[in-house]
């Protein structure tokens, strides 16, 4: 199928206003880094996601699902396929009694705020995490003692074959930054959280406390992908990086944050190649100093062979 025909099929599925060609991924990642993607697609519902997957599968177009791009580093060469963004077009959040239902594109801050307004406790930790529900569930995101696995009741996913599956919490196999969803490459469509009644003042106070901690301790004033490395068992990546003398270490405009060494930030015009080189230097120095090998938490998308 010719490129123009594929483009037309995408437009028939979700409307031309939701199909971008040769789109810079700098516009769609919190790192503000990345080359162009051939097709950038923004579906509105489950049916349109299924239709896009069928086209990609039939035409052998590589695809990748993103939310708001908060935990991703895209190659400077971009991605020669389709990015399907489940974000603002699929971000409805509703609640009944002690349950909150959220589409995958809803932000974690959005669902935490809905919970707080309903006097439901359990999601305070999620307020301020820069990501969507879908990505958070895949990676079992967490902060300040809370994790997705603590509050999830069930998740509706889409298999690579386009089949919708409902997974109960017991089936999610959630661990540190992993889940059955990640292992089987399922696509999160919506989630249901089971919360508890709480005191309105205490919920808001907790959210404000965590917000102040984030603002004071994290480099929120610069583009980044969040925590760059996973937490090694029994250690903290940021502390190991700091002890290796790498606070403020730079490659081009990519820098180990002076505010929190667990973050690599974009000082302005960092490239993916800068970030990859910096991460490799950090890994080598930390292993030399402590004997501990750091593993990336940020996900890589595209061809990085020429950037290593």
Residues with catalytic annotation? 177, 227, 297
The Cα diameter of the chain in Å comes to: 58
Classify residue 95 as exposed, middle or buried by CB count within 10 Å of its CB (0-12, 13-18, 19+).
middle
Q: Which residues contact 105 (CB under 8 A, 6 or more apart)?
A: 67, 85, 86, 87, 88, 89, 90, 91, 132, 133, 134
CB atoms within 10 A of CB 122: 19
Q: For residue 260, what are its two tokens?
A: 């929190």
Give, for 278, the enclosing helix (H) or strand (E): helix 272-290
Q: Residue written as tokens 């820098």?
A: 255
* Cα separation, 264 vs 218, whole angstroms: 11
CA-based radius of gyration for the chain: 20
């Amino acid at each position: 199928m010719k490129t123009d025909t594929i483009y037309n099929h995408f437009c028939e599925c979700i409307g031309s206003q939701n199909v971008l060609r040769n789109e810079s991924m700098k516009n769609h990642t919190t790192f503000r880094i990345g080359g162009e993607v051939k097709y950038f697609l923004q579906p509105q519902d489950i049916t349109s996601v299924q239709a896009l997957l069928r086209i990609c599968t039939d035409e052998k177009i590589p695809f990748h699902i993103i939310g708001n791009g908060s935990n991703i580093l895209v190659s400077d060469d971009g991605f020669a396929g389709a990015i399907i963004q489940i974000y603002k077009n699929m971000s409805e959040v509703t609640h009944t009694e002690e349950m909150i239902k959220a589409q995958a594109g809803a932000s974690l801050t959005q669902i935490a705020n809905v919970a707080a307004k309903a006097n439901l406790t359990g999601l305070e930790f999620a307020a301020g995490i820069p990501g969507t529900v879908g990505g958070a569930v895949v990676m079992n995101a967490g902060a300040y003692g809370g994790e997705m696995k603590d509050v999830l009741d069930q998740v509706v996913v889409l298999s690579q074959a386009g089949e919708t599956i409902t997974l109960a919490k017991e089936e999610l196999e959630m661990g540190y930054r992993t889940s059955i969803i990640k292992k089987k490459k399922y696509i999160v469509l919506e989630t249901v959280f089971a919360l508890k009644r709480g005191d309105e003042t205490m919920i808001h106070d907790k959210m404000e406390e965590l917000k102040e901690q984030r603002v004071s301790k994290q480099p929120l004033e610069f583009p980044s992908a969040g925590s760059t490395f996973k937490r090694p068992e029994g250690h903290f990546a940021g502390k190991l990086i700091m002890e290796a003398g790498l606070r403020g270490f730079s490659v081009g405009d990519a820098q180990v944050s002076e505010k929190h060494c667990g973050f690599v930030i974009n000082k302005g015009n960092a490239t993916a190649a800068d970030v990859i080189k910096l991460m490799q230097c950090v890994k080598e120095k930390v292993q030399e100093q402590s004997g501990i090998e750091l593993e990336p938490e940020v996900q890589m998308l595209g061809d990085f062979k020429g950037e290593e």
